Structure 1
Amino acid sequence: MYPSVNDAQRCSADGYLGPAPASGIPSTSPAQPYAPPLPYVTTTLRGQGQAGQWSTGLCHCCDDPANCFISCFCPCITFGQISEIADRGSSSCAGNGVIYGLLLMTGFACLYSCCYRSKLRGQYDLEESPCVDCLVHFCCETCALCQEYRELKNRGFDMGIGWEANVDRRNRGVTAAPILARGMTR
Protein backbone atom coordinates (compact mmCIF):
# COMPACT_ATOMS: atom_id res chain seq x y z
CA MET A 1 0.00 0.00 0.00
CA TYR A 2 2.63 2.58 1.06
CA PRO A 3 6.20 2.45 -0.20
CA SER A 4 8.69 1.04 2.25
CA VAL A 5 11.58 3.12 3.53
CA ASN A 6 13.91 1.41 1.06
CA ASP A 7 11.68 2.33 -1.90
CA ALA A 8 11.58 5.97 -0.79
CA GLN A 9 15.36 6.07 -0.41
CA ARG A 10 15.98 4.69 -3.91
CA CYS A 11 16.87 7.52 -6.25
CA SER A 12 18.04 7.66 -9.84
CA ALA A 13 20.80 9.88 -11.18
CA ASP A 14 18.36 12.70 -12.15
CA GLY A 15 16.70 12.76 -8.70
CA TYR A 16 13.40 11.26 -9.83
CA LEU A 17 11.88 9.09 -7.13
CA GLY A 18 8.99 7.76 -9.15
CA PRO A 19 5.45 9.02 -9.37
CA ALA A 20 4.65 11.82 -6.97
CA PRO A 21 2.24 10.99 -4.20
CA ALA A 22 -1.29 12.24 -4.69
CA SER A 23 -1.40 15.73 -3.25
CA GLY A 24 -4.48 17.20 -4.88
CA ILE A 25 -2.28 19.61 -6.87
CA PRO A 26 -2.19 18.90 -10.60
CA SER A 27 1.27 18.38 -12.06
CA THR A 28 2.26 19.26 -15.60
CA SER A 29 4.32 16.17 -16.29
CA PRO A 30 4.92 12.92 -14.44
CA ALA A 31 8.56 13.02 -15.59
CA GLN A 32 9.30 16.12 -13.50
CA PRO A 33 11.23 15.54 -10.30
CA TYR A 34 9.04 15.48 -7.23
CA ALA A 35 9.40 18.53 -5.03
CA PRO A 36 7.58 18.57 -1.71
CA PRO A 37 4.95 21.30 -1.43
CA LEU A 38 5.92 24.52 0.30
CA PRO A 39 4.75 24.76 3.90
CA TYR A 40 1.46 26.52 4.42
CA VAL A 41 2.16 29.88 6.03
CA THR A 42 -0.44 31.94 7.79
CA THR A 43 -0.04 35.40 9.12
CA THR A 44 -2.56 36.72 11.55
CA LEU A 45 -2.63 39.73 13.78
CA ARG A 46 -2.72 38.72 17.37
CA GLY A 47 -3.20 41.05 20.25
CA GLN A 48 -2.63 40.47 23.90
CA GLY A 49 -3.27 37.02 25.25
CA GLN A 50 -2.53 33.67 23.75
CA ALA A 51 -3.21 32.75 20.17
CA GLY A 52 -6.92 32.47 19.52
CA GLN A 53 -8.02 33.43 23.02
CA TRP A 54 -9.94 36.49 24.12
CA SER A 55 -7.85 38.94 26.15
CA THR A 56 -10.49 38.94 28.91
CA GLY A 57 -13.22 36.55 29.96
CA LEU A 58 -16.92 36.91 29.29
CA CYS A 59 -17.76 37.75 32.91
CA HIS A 60 -14.89 40.16 33.59
CA CYS A 61 -17.16 43.19 33.34
CA CYS A 62 -15.65 44.74 36.46
CA ASP A 63 -12.39 45.27 34.54
CA ASP A 64 -14.01 48.33 32.94
CA PRO A 65 -16.81 49.56 35.24
CA ALA A 66 -17.62 52.63 33.11
CA ASN A 67 -18.26 50.52 30.02
CA CYS A 68 -20.19 47.98 32.09
CA PHE A 69 -22.49 50.75 33.32
CA ILE A 70 -23.04 52.12 29.80
CA SER A 71 -23.61 48.63 28.36
CA CYS A 72 -26.20 47.81 31.03
CA PHE A 73 -28.28 50.95 30.64
CA CYS A 74 -27.69 51.89 26.99
CA PRO A 75 -26.17 48.96 25.09
CA CYS A 76 -26.78 50.69 21.76
CA ILE A 77 -23.81 53.01 22.49
CA THR A 78 -21.42 50.14 23.15
CA PHE A 79 -22.73 48.19 20.18
CA GLY A 80 -22.36 51.22 17.88
CA GLN A 81 -18.72 51.66 18.91
CA ILE A 82 -17.95 47.96 18.42
CA SER A 83 -19.69 47.78 15.04
CA GLU A 84 -17.89 50.82 13.64
CA ILE A 85 -14.49 49.30 14.46
CA ALA A 86 -15.53 45.80 13.28
CA ASP A 87 -16.82 47.27 9.99
CA ARG A 88 -13.58 49.24 9.63
CA GLY A 89 -15.42 52.51 9.23
CA SER A 90 -17.81 51.39 6.50
CA SER A 91 -20.76 52.00 8.82
CA SER A 92 -21.26 54.65 11.46
CA CYS A 93 -21.47 54.22 15.19
CA ALA A 94 -24.71 56.22 15.34
CA GLY A 95 -26.39 54.35 12.48
CA ASN A 96 -25.65 50.90 13.89
CA GLY A 97 -26.56 52.09 17.39
CA VAL A 98 -29.99 53.24 16.18
CA ILE A 99 -30.62 49.97 14.34
CA TYR A 100 -29.59 48.04 17.45
CA GLY A 101 -31.86 50.18 19.64
CA LEU A 102 -34.85 49.54 17.36
CA LEU A 103 -34.12 45.81 17.30
CA LEU A 104 -33.72 45.86 21.08
CA MET A 105 -37.38 46.84 21.38
CA THR A 106 -38.42 43.84 19.26
CA GLY A 107 -36.15 41.36 21.03
CA PHE A 108 -34.02 40.58 17.96
CA ALA A 109 -31.00 42.70 18.88
CA CYS A 110 -29.04 39.63 19.97
CA LEU A 111 -29.23 38.21 16.43
CA TYR A 112 -27.86 41.45 15.00
CA SER A 113 -25.07 41.76 17.57
CA CYS A 114 -24.00 38.11 17.32
CA CYS A 115 -23.14 38.74 13.65
CA TYR A 116 -20.67 41.39 14.75
CA ARG A 117 -19.20 39.06 17.37
CA SER A 118 -18.60 36.53 14.59
CA LYS A 119 -17.04 39.23 12.41
CA LEU A 120 -14.77 40.32 15.26
CA ARG A 121 -13.73 36.72 15.95
CA GLY A 122 -12.90 36.25 12.28
CA GLN A 123 -10.81 39.41 12.10
CA TYR A 124 -8.69 38.51 15.11
CA ASP A 125 -8.82 34.71 14.91
CA LEU A 126 -10.53 34.33 18.28
CA GLU A 127 -12.07 31.13 19.52
CA GLU A 128 -15.81 30.72 19.77
CA SER A 129 -16.10 30.50 23.52
CA PRO A 130 -17.67 29.82 25.95
CA CYS A 131 -20.28 28.69 23.40
CA VAL A 132 -21.58 29.68 19.97
CA ASP A 133 -21.93 33.40 19.29
CA CYS A 134 -25.74 33.45 19.11
CA LEU A 135 -26.08 31.76 22.49
CA VAL A 136 -23.55 34.09 24.09
CA HIS A 137 -25.54 37.11 22.89
CA PHE A 138 -28.91 35.56 23.64
CA CYS A 139 -28.03 34.58 27.23
CA CYS A 140 -25.48 37.26 28.19
CA GLU A 141 -25.96 40.19 25.81
CA THR A 142 -24.46 42.82 28.10
CA CYS A 143 -21.47 40.68 29.08
CA ALA A 144 -20.82 39.82 25.42
CA LEU A 145 -20.84 43.49 24.40
CA CYS A 146 -18.53 44.37 27.30
CA GLN A 147 -16.12 41.58 26.33
CA GLU A 148 -16.03 42.68 22.68
CA TYR A 149 -15.48 46.31 23.74
CA ARG A 150 -12.61 45.30 26.07
CA GLU A 151 -11.08 43.13 23.34
CA LEU A 152 -10.91 46.02 20.88
CA LYS A 153 -9.68 48.35 23.59
CA ASN A 154 -6.93 45.87 24.58
CA ARG A 155 -5.89 45.67 20.92
CA GLY A 156 -5.11 49.37 20.94
CA PHE A 157 -8.33 50.99 19.74
CA ASP A 158 -9.61 54.12 21.45
CA MET A 159 -13.29 53.26 21.36
CA GLY A 160 -14.50 56.80 21.92
CA ILE A 161 -13.00 58.29 18.75
CA GLY A 162 -14.16 55.87 16.06
CA TRP A 163 -12.44 54.12 13.17
CA GLU A 164 -11.15 57.10 11.18
CA ALA A 165 -9.46 58.76 14.16
CA ASN A 166 -7.90 55.44 15.19
CA VAL A 167 -6.49 54.95 11.69
CA ASP A 168 -5.18 58.51 11.70
CA ARG A 169 -3.50 57.93 15.06
CA ARG A 170 -1.84 54.74 13.88
CA ASN A 171 -0.62 56.41 10.69
CA ARG A 172 0.97 59.16 12.76
CA GLY A 173 2.57 56.56 15.03
CA VAL A 174 0.58 57.49 18.13
CA THR A 175 -0.22 54.31 20.02
CA ALA A 176 -1.38 55.78 23.32
CA ALA A 177 -2.29 59.09 24.87
CA PRO A 178 0.73 61.14 25.95
CA ILE A 179 1.67 61.04 29.62
CA LEU A 180 1.96 64.52 31.03
CA ALA A 181 4.62 65.07 33.67
CA ARG A 182 3.52 66.97 36.72
CA GLY A 183 5.25 70.15 37.80
CA MET A 184 7.93 70.20 40.43
CA THR A 185 6.84 69.17 43.89
CA ARG A 186 8.53 69.59 47.25
Structure 2
Amino acid sequence: MGGEEDNPLLNVWKGEKEKVGGTKEEEEVETSVGWTADGLPLGHASVVGEPVARSQWNSSLFACLGRNDEFCSSDLEVCLLGSFVPCMLYGSNVERIDSGPGTYANHCLPYTGLYLLGNSLFGWNCLAPWFSYPSRTAIRRKFNLEGSCEAFTRSCGCCRGMIEDEEQREHCEAACDFATHFCCHACSLCQEGRELRRRLPHPGFNNRSVLVMIPPVEQAMGRGF
Protein backbone atom coordinates (compact mmCIF):
# COMPACT_ATOMS: atom_id res chain seq x y z
CA MET A 1 0.00 0.00 0.00
CA GLY A 2 3.05 2.26 0.10
CA GLY A 3 3.00 2.89 -3.67
CA GLU A 4 -0.55 4.17 -3.76
CA GLU A 5 0.44 7.72 -4.70
CA ASP A 6 2.55 6.44 -7.64
CA ASN A 7 -0.24 4.37 -9.16
CA PRO A 8 -1.18 5.61 -12.68
CA LEU A 9 -4.90 5.13 -12.01
CA LEU A 10 -4.83 7.54 -9.08
CA ASN A 11 -2.67 9.96 -11.08
CA VAL A 12 -5.44 10.12 -13.70
CA TRP A 13 -7.85 11.26 -11.01
CA LYS A 14 -5.35 13.84 -9.74
CA GLY A 15 -4.79 15.12 -13.28
CA GLU A 16 -8.50 15.75 -13.69
CA LYS A 17 -8.47 17.87 -10.53
CA GLU A 18 -5.40 19.85 -11.64
CA LYS A 19 -7.08 20.80 -14.92
CA VAL A 20 -9.53 23.00 -13.03
CA GLY A 21 -7.85 26.39 -12.71
CA GLY A 22 -8.81 30.00 -12.14
CA THR A 23 -8.18 33.09 -10.11
CA LYS A 24 -7.93 33.19 -6.35
CA GLU A 25 -11.40 34.71 -6.05
CA GLU A 26 -12.92 31.97 -8.22
CA GLU A 27 -11.22 29.28 -6.12
CA GLU A 28 -12.55 30.81 -2.91
CA VAL A 29 -16.08 30.96 -4.33
CA GLU A 30 -15.87 27.35 -5.51
CA THR A 31 -14.58 26.20 -2.13
CA SER A 32 -17.27 28.03 -0.21
CA VAL A 33 -20.10 26.83 -2.45
CA GLY A 34 -19.34 23.13 -2.87
CA TRP A 35 -21.03 20.72 -5.24
CA THR A 36 -23.19 17.65 -4.85
CA ALA A 37 -22.51 14.32 -6.56
CA ASP A 38 -25.11 15.21 -9.22
CA GLY A 39 -23.33 18.47 -10.12
CA LEU A 40 -25.77 20.75 -8.29
CA PRO A 41 -24.38 23.66 -6.22
CA LEU A 42 -24.89 23.64 -2.48
CA GLY A 43 -25.83 26.68 -0.40
CA HIS A 44 -23.31 29.01 1.16
CA ALA A 45 -23.82 29.36 4.88
CA SER A 46 -25.89 26.23 5.47
CA VAL A 47 -23.16 23.82 4.40
CA VAL A 48 -20.06 25.34 6.01
CA GLY A 49 -18.06 22.49 7.53
CA GLU A 50 -20.39 19.79 6.15
CA PRO A 51 -18.99 17.10 3.80
CA VAL A 52 -20.30 16.93 0.24
CA ALA A 53 -22.83 14.14 -0.16
CA ARG A 54 -21.54 11.11 -2.07
CA SER A 55 -23.40 8.70 -4.30
CA GLN A 56 -23.92 5.05 -3.45
CA TRP A 57 -22.67 2.22 -5.64
CA ASN A 58 -25.09 1.10 -8.31
CA SER A 59 -25.07 -2.46 -6.95
CA SER A 60 -23.98 -4.06 -3.71
CA LEU A 61 -20.76 -6.00 -3.26
CA PHE A 62 -22.46 -9.40 -3.27
CA ALA A 63 -24.99 -8.76 -6.07
CA CYS A 64 -22.99 -11.11 -8.26
CA LEU A 65 -25.77 -11.81 -10.79
CA GLY A 66 -26.62 -8.14 -11.14
CA ARG A 67 -30.06 -6.65 -11.49
CA ASN A 68 -32.90 -7.55 -13.80
CA ASP A 69 -32.59 -4.60 -16.17
CA GLU A 70 -31.16 -3.81 -19.58
CA PHE A 71 -27.66 -4.57 -18.26
CA CYS A 72 -28.56 -8.08 -17.07
CA SER A 73 -26.65 -9.87 -19.82
CA SER A 74 -23.48 -7.85 -19.21
CA ASP A 75 -23.83 -8.45 -15.45
CA LEU A 76 -23.77 -12.20 -16.08
CA GLU A 77 -20.72 -11.73 -18.28
CA VAL A 78 -19.00 -9.75 -15.53
CA CYS A 79 -19.81 -12.50 -13.02
CA LEU A 80 -18.32 -15.19 -15.25
CA LEU A 81 -15.19 -13.15 -15.97
CA GLY A 82 -14.66 -12.37 -12.29
CA SER A 83 -15.07 -16.03 -11.34
CA PHE A 84 -12.90 -17.70 -13.98
CA VAL A 85 -10.66 -15.08 -15.64
CA PRO A 86 -10.34 -12.14 -13.21
CA CYS A 87 -7.29 -10.87 -15.07
CA MET A 88 -9.46 -10.03 -18.10
CA LEU A 89 -12.11 -8.31 -15.98
CA TYR A 90 -9.49 -6.28 -14.12
CA GLY A 91 -7.84 -5.23 -17.38
CA SER A 92 -11.20 -4.25 -18.85
CA ASN A 93 -12.10 -2.20 -15.77
CA VAL A 94 -8.82 -0.29 -15.86
CA GLU A 95 -9.18 0.28 -19.59
CA ARG A 96 -12.49 2.03 -19.02
CA ILE A 97 -10.94 4.30 -16.37
CA ASP A 98 -7.81 5.14 -18.36
CA SER A 99 -8.11 4.48 -22.09
CA GLY A 100 -4.45 5.23 -22.81
CA PRO A 101 -2.42 3.10 -25.23
CA GLY A 102 -1.44 -0.27 -23.79
CA THR A 103 -3.54 0.16 -20.65
CA TYR A 104 -5.16 -3.25 -20.88
CA ALA A 105 -1.92 -5.18 -21.42
CA ASN A 106 0.05 -3.16 -18.85
CA HIS A 107 -2.41 -4.15 -16.13
CA CYS A 108 -3.67 -7.53 -17.30
CA LEU A 109 -0.24 -9.14 -17.71
CA PRO A 110 1.20 -8.19 -14.28
CA TYR A 111 -2.08 -9.24 -12.66
CA THR A 112 -1.88 -12.62 -14.43
CA GLY A 113 1.67 -13.15 -13.18
CA LEU A 114 0.71 -12.35 -9.58
CA TYR A 115 -2.41 -14.48 -9.89
CA LEU A 116 -0.43 -17.54 -11.04
CA LEU A 117 2.33 -16.94 -8.48
CA GLY A 118 -0.12 -16.62 -5.59
CA ASN A 119 -2.03 -19.74 -6.55
CA SER A 120 1.12 -21.79 -7.07
CA LEU A 121 2.85 -20.71 -3.83
CA PHE A 122 -0.03 -20.19 -1.42
CA GLY A 123 -2.94 -22.00 -3.05
CA TRP A 124 -5.12 -18.91 -3.54
CA ASN A 125 -5.07 -15.51 -5.19
CA CYS A 126 -3.47 -13.53 -2.37
CA LEU A 127 -0.92 -11.44 -4.31
CA ALA A 128 -2.97 -9.85 -7.10
CA PRO A 129 -5.18 -7.79 -4.72
CA TRP A 130 -2.07 -5.84 -3.62
CA PHE A 131 -1.73 -4.75 -7.25
CA SER A 132 -5.39 -4.26 -8.19
CA TYR A 133 -6.93 -2.44 -5.21
CA PRO A 134 -6.00 1.10 -6.45
CA SER A 135 -8.54 0.62 -9.25
CA ARG A 136 -11.31 0.61 -6.64
CA THR A 137 -9.96 3.81 -5.12
CA ALA A 138 -9.78 5.43 -8.57
CA ILE A 139 -13.40 4.46 -9.37
CA ARG A 140 -14.63 5.74 -6.02
CA ARG A 141 -12.85 9.08 -6.47
CA LYS A 142 -13.78 9.51 -10.13
CA PHE A 143 -17.53 9.14 -9.54
CA ASN A 144 -17.60 10.50 -5.96
CA LEU A 145 -18.88 7.19 -4.59
CA GLU A 146 -19.45 6.32 -0.98
CA GLY A 147 -16.66 4.34 0.65
CA SER A 148 -16.94 1.50 3.14
CA CYS A 149 -16.13 3.70 6.15
CA GLU A 150 -18.67 6.31 5.15
CA ALA A 151 -21.33 3.66 4.50
CA PHE A 152 -20.68 2.12 7.91
CA THR A 153 -20.89 5.53 9.58
CA ARG A 154 -24.13 6.33 7.79
CA SER A 155 -25.72 3.04 8.84
CA CYS A 156 -24.62 3.03 12.50
CA GLY A 157 -24.32 6.78 13.14
CA CYS A 158 -20.89 6.67 14.83
CA CYS A 159 -17.43 8.10 14.02
CA ARG A 160 -18.82 11.36 12.64
CA GLY A 161 -15.62 13.24 13.44
CA MET A 162 -13.51 10.97 11.27
CA ILE A 163 -15.81 11.45 8.27
CA GLU A 164 -15.62 15.25 8.57
CA ASP A 165 -11.81 15.14 8.39
CA GLU A 166 -11.30 14.67 4.64
CA GLU A 167 -7.67 13.53 4.81
CA GLN A 168 -8.31 11.04 7.60
CA ARG A 169 -11.40 9.75 5.85
CA GLU A 170 -9.50 9.19 2.61
CA HIS A 171 -6.74 7.22 4.36
CA CYS A 172 -9.37 5.03 6.00
CA GLU A 173 -11.25 4.53 2.74
CA ALA A 174 -8.04 3.52 0.91
CA ALA A 175 -7.38 0.91 3.62
CA CYS A 176 -10.95 -0.35 3.25
CA ASP A 177 -10.49 -0.58 -0.54
CA PHE A 178 -7.49 -2.81 0.01
CA ALA A 179 -9.33 -4.94 2.58
CA THR A 180 -12.28 -5.35 0.21
CA HIS A 181 -10.02 -6.50 -2.62
CA PHE A 182 -8.05 -8.83 -0.36
CA CYS A 183 -11.00 -10.47 1.42
CA CYS A 184 -13.65 -10.40 -1.35
CA HIS A 185 -11.53 -10.03 -4.45
CA ALA A 186 -13.79 -11.57 -7.10
CA CYS A 187 -16.88 -9.78 -5.74
CA SER A 188 -15.09 -6.43 -5.64
CA LEU A 189 -13.92 -6.78 -9.25
CA CYS A 190 -17.46 -7.67 -10.34
CA GLN A 191 -18.96 -4.72 -8.46
CA GLU A 192 -16.47 -2.36 -10.10
CA GLY A 193 -17.17 -3.90 -13.50
CA ARG A 194 -20.92 -3.41 -13.13
CA GLU A 195 -20.43 0.18 -12.00
CA LEU A 196 -18.15 1.07 -14.90
CA ARG A 197 -20.36 -0.56 -17.52
CA ARG A 198 -23.30 1.54 -16.37
CA ARG A 199 -21.31 4.77 -16.30
CA LEU A 200 -18.71 4.58 -19.08
CA PRO A 201 -18.77 3.13 -22.60
CA HIS A 202 -15.93 0.89 -23.63
CA PRO A 203 -13.04 2.93 -25.06
CA GLY A 204 -13.25 0.93 -28.29
CA PHE A 205 -16.67 2.42 -29.02
CA ASN A 206 -15.65 6.04 -28.48
CA ASN A 207 -13.45 6.44 -31.54
CA ARG A 208 -15.26 4.06 -33.82
CA SER A 209 -15.36 5.51 -37.33
CA VAL A 210 -18.32 4.87 -39.62
CA LEU A 211 -17.61 4.21 -43.27
CA VAL A 212 -20.36 5.57 -45.50
CA MET A 213 -20.57 4.10 -48.98
CA ILE A 214 -21.80 6.62 -51.56
CA PRO A 215 -23.01 5.12 -54.82
CA PRO A 216 -21.32 6.46 -57.96
CA VAL A 217 -23.06 9.22 -59.87
CA GLU A 218 -24.89 7.97 -62.90
CA GLN A 219 -22.99 8.96 -66.02
CA ALA A 220 -24.56 9.41 -69.43
CA MET A 221 -22.60 8.77 -72.59
CA GLY A 222 -22.33 11.87 -74.75
CA ARG A 223 -22.81 11.87 -78.49
CA GLY A 224 -19.85 12.41 -80.73
CA PHE A 225 -20.09 15.07 -83.44
Q: Given the two structures, how large is their TM-score scaled by the length of structure 2?
A: 0.50
Contact 2:83 2:186 in 1 (8 A): yes
How far 1:51 sits from its partner (Å)? 4.2
Match 1:102 to one of 102, 113, 116 = 113
Aligned to 1:168: 207
Question: Residue 96 of structure 2 contacts residue 200 of structure 2 at CA under 8 Å; is this kept in 1?
Answer: no
Which position in structure 2 is the counterpart of 1:114?
133
% same residue: 31
| RMSD, aligned CA | 2.9
2:81 alignment partner in structure 1: 70
Gaps of 5+ in 1: 1-36, 173-186
Matched, 1:79 2:72: no
Query: Are the counterparts in 2 of residues 45 and 124 from structure 1 also a CA contact under 8 Å?
Result: no
- Write 1 or 2 for the structure with the bigger share of helix: 2
Deviation track 1:16-67 (CA, whole Å, cap 9, x = no partner) reads xxxxxxxxxxxxxxxxxxxxx7442337567xxx942101110011112222
Corresponding residue number in structure 1 for 2:193? 149
| Count of aligned residue pairs for this structure pair | 128
Give me the whole-angstrom Cα distance separating, in 2, the residues matched to 1:45 and 1:149. Answer: 21
1:53 pairs with 42, 53, 56, which one? 56
Q: 1:45 to 1:167 in 2, by over 3 A?
A: farther
Deviations 1:127-176 (A, max 9, x none): 11267101110111000000000001111424xxxx2x24336x99xxxx
Shift in alpha-carbon separation, 1:115–1:88, aligned structure 2, 3 A? same
Work out whether residues 129 and 178 of structure 2, in 8 Å CA contact, stay in contact via their aligned partners in 1: yes
- The correspondence for 1:42, drawn from 2, 27, 35, is 35
Alpha carbons 1:84, 1:90 under 8 Å: kept: no
Q: Gaps (5+ residues) in structure 2?
A: 1-27, 40-52, 67-74, 119-125, 152-172, 211-225
What's the secondary structure of 1:61's corresponding residue?
coil
Q: Who wins on radius of gyration, i.e. which is larger?
A: 1
Contact 1:83–1:91 at 8 Å: present in 2 too? no
Please give the TM-score of this superposition, normalised by the length of structure 1.
Answer: 0.59
User: Offset at 1:95?
Assistant: 2.6
Q: Structure 1 residue runs of 4+, over 4 Å off?
A: 43-46
Once the two structures are TM-superposed, the CA of residue 71 in structure 1 deviates from its matched residue by 1.0
Does the Cα contact within 8 Å between 2:36 and 2:54 map onto a contact in 1? no
> Structure 1's 115 and 90: CA in aligned 2 closer, same or farther, altered over 3 A?
farther
